[in-house]
Amino acid sequence: RKEVEQDPGPFNVPEGATVAFNCTYSNSASQSFFWYRQDCRKEPKLLMSVYSSGNEDGRFTAQLNRASQYISLLIRDSKLSDSATYLCVVKGSSGSARQLTFGSGTQLTVLP
């Protein structure tokens, strides 16, 4: 089983749609969680951290369920500029120097 697994995608949605991505992780001792965005042939960029209480940044909402080892990202009112690959990222347990483990990513295309 992969340490971090994501919806395989691709997701093709019309502008204005709401889309949700899911991610599961295998290490129950994982400490921190992130969503990164990666545009084609570019480096990943931090989109948002994910907290147990859930957090929102404009049209983006991230949720964490530690009991189910599950992370989600919700994008409301999709824009063409949201088209990218979204990477679910998990940090290991306390004291782990190996740092972040990346999922394979879910590709999103927002259509006009």
| Residue 60 found at the interface with other proteins (CB under 8 A) | no
- Asked if 92 and 99 touch (Cβ cutoff 8 Å), the reply is yes
Cis before residue 10, ω within 30 degrees of 0?
yes
| Residue 26 found at the interface with other proteins (CB under 8 A) | no
| Residue 100 found at the interface with other proteins (CB under 8 A) | yes
| Residue 42 found at the interface with other proteins (CB under 8 A) | yes
Options 12-20, 41-49, 56-64, 73-81: segment touching other proteins (CB under 8 A): 41-49
Binding-residue total with other proteins (CB under 8 A): 25
Please name which of 72, 92, 83, 75 lies closest in space to residue 28, comparing C-alpha atoms.
Answer: 92
